[in-house]
């Protein structure tokens, strides 16, 4: 037997529907509390004496492709205790149903919070619009900030990395608590003095996770000389991946010879592959010209002058570095990382999982645990 859907199931528990009005894009439900009394928020006394009523416009979860708007009929009660300073108060519906002064129900607020955590500001606002949950990017960020629990314990393991206020224009520093996987603060720039001043105010830090650059290492060494510095996991994976791809790319000619795939039929190539193959043939001619001059003991400066190529290219060819026939765009391991690492918190990884520890007093040189390409 087919089960029917009651209209009362569209509203949160504890509310009763008074009337329903429908429009082309939304459904407006007039609701009220099913309780007959309310508790004073100041003294806690219960009251049944109603003073007046007013309406609240609240957004709720969509239904059947339409937005749900709740017109909450809120009652004002009179506190009958003579010693209570609040004579008139509005009834509360509970933080799990409708928080005080909120324009969204608790269940809608929870979904908005998770969208903000998963996608950020503008991407989450665009996706929420498709879900019939129109919220702005500023609202999403405000909800995330408001529901963030404050740090309760001391900061022991800190992750430091740079992040972009505006990419290629303005950068700052993000500091994360790696034990609780939470952002602690955002510093306005990447200067050594700024990071050093902040670290000096937190002497309880024992472990600092950073990238292989010398700036953050120098700041941590001066501010926390006894702290242990480690290389975070993202940079280790990134450097190891780049080194592996470079090694394979340099050996592709030998690999093709070993598997017998040295002959390429241009007729079997696609249009994009044919363009790459023609470029490869031009590079091979350039490499042959440069190598002939190198065998004749012509200096690099003279080769640059004769061929018109850059000094970097001439040096690479003279050292035997060559590219494969079909070059691929170099990628990063970011797609395999969790979403909280992809949203600007690359440093917020567990320091213990890296398993590599640097010296306590870091110098300006790169971190010794980094894998260089």
pLDDT tens column, 14-44: 888 888 888 878 888 899 988 888 999 888 8
What are the tens digits of pLDDT across the range 38-58?
Answer: 999 888 889 999 999 999 999
What pLDDT shows up at residue 158?
92
User: Are the beta carbons of 131 and 59 closer than 8 angstroms?
Assistant: no
Is it the case that residue 361 has pLDDT exceeding 60? no
Structural domain boundaries in the chain:
11-96, 104-148, 155-264+345-373, 265-324
- pLDDT value of position 331: 53
| Orientation of helix 106-119 relative to helix 137-146, angle to 10° | 100
pLDDT tens digits, 230-257: 987 888 888 888 888 878 877 777 777 7
For residues 276 and 59, what is the distance between their CA atoms, to the nearest angstrom? 55
CA dihedral in degrees (343, 347, 349, 350; nearest 10)?
-160
Tokens 């089960």, residue located: 3
Residue for token digits 């790319």?
249
Give the model's pLDDT for residue 194: 92
pLDDT band at 197 (very low <50, low <70, confident <90, very high): very high
What tokens were used for 17? 């529907």
151 vs 117 pLDDT, higher one:
117
- Predicted confidence band of residue 76 (pLDDT cuts 50, 70, 90): very high
- Residue 351 has a pLDDT of 37
Q: With beta carbons less than 8 A apart as the criterion, state whether 178 and 209 touch.
A: yes
pLDDT-derived band of residue 261, with 50, 70 and 90 as boundaries?
low
Residue 30 — φ and ψ, nearest 5°? -85, 115
Residue 368 has a pLDDT of: 37
- 3-state per-residue secondary structure call for 169-182: CEEEEEEEECCCCE
- Using CA atoms, how far apart are residues 276 and 272, in angstroms rounded to an integer? 6
Looking at residue 73, the DSSP 8-state letter turns out to be E
Fold entry, domain 155-264+345-373: Nucleotidyltransferase; domain 5 (3.30.420)
């Amino acid at each position: 037997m087919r089960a029917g859907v009651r209209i009362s199931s569209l509203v949160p528990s504890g509310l009763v529907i008074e009337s329903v009005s429908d429009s082309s894009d939304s459904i407006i439900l007039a609701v009220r509390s099913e309780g007959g009394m309310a508790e004073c928020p100041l003294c806690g006394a219960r009251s049944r004496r109603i003073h007046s009523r007013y309406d609240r416009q609240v957004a709720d979860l969509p239904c059947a492709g339409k937005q749900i708007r709740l017109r909450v009929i809120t009652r004002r009660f009179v506190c009958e205790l003579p010693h209570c300073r609040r004579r008139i108060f509005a009834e509360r519906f509970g933080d799990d149903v409708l928080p005080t002064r909120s324009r969204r129900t608790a269940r809608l607020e929870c979904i908005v919070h998770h969208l903000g955590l998963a996608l950020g500001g503008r991407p989450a606002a665009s996706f929420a619009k498709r879900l019939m949950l129109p919220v702005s990017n500023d609202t999403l960020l405000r909800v995330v900030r408001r529901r963030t629990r404050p740090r309760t314990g001391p900061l022991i393991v800190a992750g430091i990395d740079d992040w972009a206020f505006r990419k290629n224009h303005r950068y700052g520093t993000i500091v994360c608590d790696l034990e609780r996987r939470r952002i602690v603060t955002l510093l306005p720039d990447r200067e050594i003095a700024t990071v050093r001043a902040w670290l000096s105010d937190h002497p309880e830090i024992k472990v600092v996770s950073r990238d292989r650059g010398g700036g953050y290492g120098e700041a941590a060494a001066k501010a926390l000389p006894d702290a242990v510095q480690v290389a975070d996991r993202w940079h280790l994976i990134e450097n190891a991946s780049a080194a592996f791809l470079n090694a394979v790319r340099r050996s592709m000619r030998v690999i093709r010879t070993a598997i017998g795939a040295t002959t390429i039929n241009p007729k079997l190539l696609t249009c994009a592959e044919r363009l790459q193959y023609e470029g490869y043939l031009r590079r091979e001619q350039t490499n042959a010209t440069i190598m002939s001059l190198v065998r004749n003991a012509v200096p690099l400066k003279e080769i640059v002058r004769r061929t018109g190529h850059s000094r970097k290219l001439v040096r690479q060819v003279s050292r035997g570095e060559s590219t494969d026939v079909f070059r691929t765009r170099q990628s990063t391991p970011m797609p395999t990382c969790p979403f909280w690492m992809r949203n600007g918190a690359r440093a917020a990884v567990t320091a213990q999982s890296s398993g590599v520890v640097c010296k306590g007093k870091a110098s300006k040189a790169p971190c010794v645990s980094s894998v260089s390409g």
